Amino acid sequence: MQYLKLALAGVAVVGLSACVSVEANVTEPISMTAPSFSDRTKIKAAVMDYFEGQGQGSFERLDRAFNDDASMFGVTINDDGDEYLRVWPKMSDVIVNWSETPRPDAPARDGEIMNIDVADGRIATVMFRSADRFYDALTLVKIDGEWEIASKVFVRQTP
């Protein structure tokens, strides 16, 4: 329940920010530019370090992909069969779990970057499809010239 309250508070803050942002954008639209070749390459590398690192159980690749303060949110099903937003506030704990879990099907994993958007050359959103299992919305930030995943939000694909 504590995680749900935290998630709802986060959603409320994001929702409030979006409302303020929308009003500000009426007169001064944010420029969404195509990322430079270098940024696009580094963003793709971070995303693939996440996807392939998870499949390989590679702590090194996962640690390289995610910022130390990253978090994860996912729409999951509770014991009553109801959907809810689950929050993992410390991605570092998830990375340890992923790196300790064997993935015998890792070579057969299929995933693709569906879309990359960059604003101000320092923040990016990536939509990622993981085979027929999940959609991920990844937020990346550029810190000291390096792109790292700051948050991951996922949903299971509908059959």
* Per-residue pLDDT at 109: 78
Query: Is 120 among the domain residues?
Result: yes
Residue 50: CB partners within 8 Å, gap ≥ 6?
61, 62, 65, 66, 138, 149, 152
Q: Tell me what the mean pLDDT of segment 77-97 comes to.
A: 94
* Per-residue pLDDT at 3: 44
Q: Tell me what the mean pLDDT of segment 51-75 comes to.
A: 94
Residue 4: pLDDT over 70: no
Residues above pLDDT 90, as percent of the chain: 60
Here the CATH number for the domain that contains residue 152 is: 3.10.450.50
Residue-range definition of the domain harbouring residue 130: 31-156
pTM value > 0.85: no
Q: Tell me what the mean pLDDT of segment 7-19 comes to.
A: 39
Query: Is 19 among the domain residues?
Result: no
Q: Tell me what the mean pLDDT of segment 121-128 comes to.
A: 96
pLDDT digits (tens, 9 = 90+) for 22-61: 343 444 555 566 678 889 999 999 999 999 998 889 999 9
Q: Tell me what the mean pLDDT of segment 108-137 comes to.
A: 91
* Per-residue pLDDT at 2: 45
Instruction: Indicate the pLDDT class of residue 139, thresholds 50, 70 and 90.
Output: very high
Query: Is 23 among the domain residues?
Result: no
Q: Is 36 exposed, middle or buried (0-12, 13-18, 19+ CB in 10 A)?
A: exposed
Closest listed residue to residue 120, CA positions, set 94, 97, 140: 140
Query: Is 2 among the domain residues?
Result: no
Closest listed residue to residue 134, CA positions, set 154, 151, 109, 114: 154
* Per-residue pLDDT at 49: 95
Task: Report the number of distinct structural domains present in the chain.
Answer: 1
